[in-house]
Amino acid sequence: MPPLHLFLVCYLLTVAVETAVLLLALSRRHSIARRLFAGVWLTACTYPVVWYVIPAFIDSVEDRLWYLLVAEAFAPLAECLIFWAAFVWGRSTDRRATLRDMAAIVLANLASFGVGELLNRVGVLS
């Protein structure tokens, strides 16, 4: 299990990256305050699962690819569902805006994954 300080540093980095993407990419129907909240809240909902729950089921270093597939599919899917349930369901029929919101969440997750992988490769997160 990774140390708590590394979890916190990586969580804050993830929040920073994903919030920046959500600020720019979520549809205009969402206020700046909601975009900021989503950047923190969505990550708070999924990050502990990605860091502590999924690795408990995938315990081999050789299974890193399997872990990445599961974790990086889980996070955006769960965040899209949470966001939709909290901010879209029953409130809007604008499908185009909803698709943009879901794409923004997926893009935010891909961006944070990419930044994390880059920092891991250069040894910053080791």
Residue type at position 12: L
**Contact call for residues 114 and 31 (beta carbons, < 8 A):** no
Per-residue pLDDT tens over the stretch 73-92? 999 999 999 999 999 888 86
At 68, the pLDDT band (50, 70, 90 cuts) reads confident
**Contact call for residues 43 and 11 (beta carbons, < 8 A):** yes
Q: What pLDDT, on the 0 to 100 scale, is given for residue 60?
A: 64
At 126, the pLDDT band (50, 70, 90 cuts) reads low
Secondary element (H or E) of residue 8: helix 4-25
What is the rounded distance in angstroms from the CA atom of residue 71 to the CA atom of residue 68? 5
Percent of the chain beyond pLDDT 70?
94
Task: With a cut of 70, say whether residue 97 has pLDDT above it.
Answer: yes
What is the rounded distance in angstroms from the CA atom of residue 76 to the CA atom of residue 107? 9
- In 3D, which of 37, 36, 25 has the Cα closest to residue 111? 25
What is the rounded distance in angstroms from the CA atom of residue 6 to the CA atom of residue 93? 41
Structure-token pair, residue 79 = 């965040």
pTM of this structure: 0.90
Task: With a cut of 90, say whether residue 18 has pLDDT above it.
Answer: yes
